[in-house]
Amino acid sequence: MARKLLLEHENIPGIATFDVYRKNGGYASVEKAIKTMTPDEVTEEVKKSGLRGRGGAGFPAGMKWSFLDRKSTKPRYLVCNADESEPGTFKDRYLMEKIPHLLIEGMITSSYALGANTSYIYVRGEYMYVIRILEKAIEEAYAAGFLGNNILGSGYSLDMYVQPGGGAYICGEETALLESLEGKRGNPRLKPPFPAIAGLYASPTVVNNVETIAAVVPIVNNGGEEYAKIGIGKSTGTKLISAGGHINNPGVYEIELGLPVEEFIYSKEYCGGIWKGRKLKAVVAGGSSVPILPAGLILKTAKGEPRLMSYESLSEGGFVTGTMLGSGGFIVLDETACIVHHLYTFARFYHHESCGQCSPCREGTGWMEKVIHRIEHGHGHMRDIDLLVDVAKKIEGNTICPLGDAAAWPVASAIRHFREEFEYHIKYPEKVKNPKHFEIEPFVSERVAALV
């Protein structure tokens, strides 16, 4: 049975309330950190644990914390990125709804380590009911003396607030989040300067994902080295995977990094296999922004080794035969899914969410959406496929923030692995008039590796 560090108590009734949470060992990390450790010691434990950012980028959290400008006289801020808008990802909502105090405990311990006296949890506006749950939990924490002035008599004070967003995926990017927190349009800033030097209100700021901050709790409780023992290679600890799509048991699963992908998809403990007795066609392993992989390449790497759920194993093969762990939004497609239509929903998403500051993303996302729409409805030309690849190449790397890359990668990878399906839509416009065409007659490709 796999260890659960974050969701260990998810099914205890009343775990969302302070009293039940405290009875089950809650806020122990706050007491340990504030009473027995210095802020630098806490940062050291996080560094030792090898914790990587769980929002999608996978940047080592301890390193990010050490970049914080500690010489500046400006106040420091910790901002929690709960803007979860990456399609396929819903783990933060689950965590905040079920065990809100876990996040608050992690925030307090992390703020102590960073020397921040004010921290904000930026939650996407659509999660309004989750915001209310968090606000209630924060009130309980204040009442119990874990927030506010002179926490546990230590002299350390912390104020924590929840900030709602307004509905913008781009505000998940850390500098756009800070702009939104300042009450402006969510336009990403140019980096450098990095938020660790000049972030919120031009003061040193650290922005971390919900799951990253929640993971600080078991790291401080058990020690960084214990955390590093779980996992494989540089992918240490556990990760929350949001599994969705054509599987029998969609939901949030906490896995130890290094779990084989085949077990994750087919075992009854996790996704329970493909629904309706169908076969696997493709998987998007880490949220909509990562390359899509056909069945053959998601279960095994190009070298023939079994693919594992870890940062390294999923990236094996670069973007030619690999993908990324990303945010852990695991979307499964069965044999009746139309890759072109699936790609269209993502292209439409990125076009809708582009902030419009820089020309490649602003114009390019709209262009790709329109071309894919034409192909999908049988009005495409053969040259459109190479056009899409070229447009994706011209957007990638030339934008201010990674949204441009995130829009380009799905298009490039879908065409790389499923070119025949695009050609099918162009060659047989009559057959694709029915949106459910592959449910009537599944697409069989000569080129794609044998379906499992």
Partner 1 sequence: MAKVTIDGIEVEVADGTTILNAARQIGGNVVPPAMCYYTSLKDSGGKCRVCLVKVTQGSAKDPRPMPKLVASCRTNVMDGMVVQNLTSPEVLEARKGVVEFLLLNHPLDCPICDQAGECDLQNLAYEHGAAKTRYEEERRTFEKIDIGDKIKLHMTRCILCYRCTYVADQLTDNRVHGILNRGDASEISTYIEKAVDNDFSGNMIDVCPVGALTDKTFRFKSRVWFTKPVDAHRDCPKCSGKVVLWTKGEEILRVSARKDQYGEVKEFICNECRYDHKEMKDWTVEGPRHIDRHSVISQNHYEKIDLLKLKKEVERQLEFQRGNPLPEPNPTLNP
Partner 2 sequence: MEVKFSDETLALVNKIIKRYPEGKQKSALLPLLHLAQAEFDGWLSPAVMDYVASILHIKPIEVYEVASFYTMYNMKPVGKCLIEVCRTGPCMLRGAEDIVAHIENRLGIKEGETTADGLFTLKTTECLGSCGTAPMLQCGADYYENLTNEKVDTLLDKLAVVKEHSTYMRSNRQEI
Handedness of CA 309, 312, 318, 320 (dihedral sign): negative
State the first-to-last Cα distance of the chain, in angstroms, to the nearest integer.
Answer: 26
| Residue 23, phi then psi, degrees to nearest 5 | -60, -30
Which does residue 164 touch among partner 2, partner 1, none (CB within 5 to 8 A, set by kind)? partner 2
What DSSP letter does each residue of 72-87 carry, written as one string?
A: --SPPEEEEEE---ST
Q: Which is nearer to partner 1, 208 or 365 (CB)?
A: 365
CB atoms within 10 A of CB 352: 12
Greatest Cα pair distance in the chain:
74
Footprint of partner 1 on 322-351 (CB under 8 A): 351
Residue 359: CB minimum distance to partner 1, A: 4
Name the residue among 350, 345, 352, 313 with its Cα closest to residue 331. 345
Describe the crossing of helices 100-114 and 28-36 by its angle, rounded to 10 degrees. Answer: 10
> Which of 309, 355, 415, 426 lies at the binding interface for partner 1 (CB under 8 A)?
355
Q: How many residues contact partner 1, by CB under 8 A? A: 29
CA distance linking residue 39 with residue 234, whole number of Å: 24
Which does residue 265 touch among partner 1, partner 2, none (CB within 5 to 8 A, set by kind)? none
357 lies in the site for partner 1, by CB under 8 A: yes
Name the residue among 314, 257, 256, 243 with its Cα closest to residue 89. 243
Q: Which is nearer to partner 2, 178 or 371 (CB)?
A: 178
> Which of 23, 35, 184, 393 lies at the binding interface for partner 2 (CB under 8 A)?
184
Residues written for the chain: 452
> Which of 325, 364, 415, 437 lies at the binding interface for partner 1 (CB under 8 A)?
364
183 lies in the site for partner 2, by CB under 8 A: yes
Which does residue 397 touch among partner 1, partner 2, none (CB within 5 to 8 A, set by kind)? partner 1
> Which of 59, 67, 142, 161 lies at the binding interface for partner 2 (CB under 8 A)?
161
CA distance linking residue 287 with residue 146, whole number of Å: 35
Residues that bind partner 2 (CB under 8 A): 75, 84-90, 92-93, 118, 124-129, 132, 159, 161, 163-169, 180-186, 201, 242-246, 250-252, 284, 288, 329, 331, 333, 337, 341-342, 345-346, 349, 352-353, 355, 435
Residues that bind partner 1 (CB under 8 A): 168, 185, 190, 351-360, 362-367, 370-371, 374, 387, 394-395, 397-400
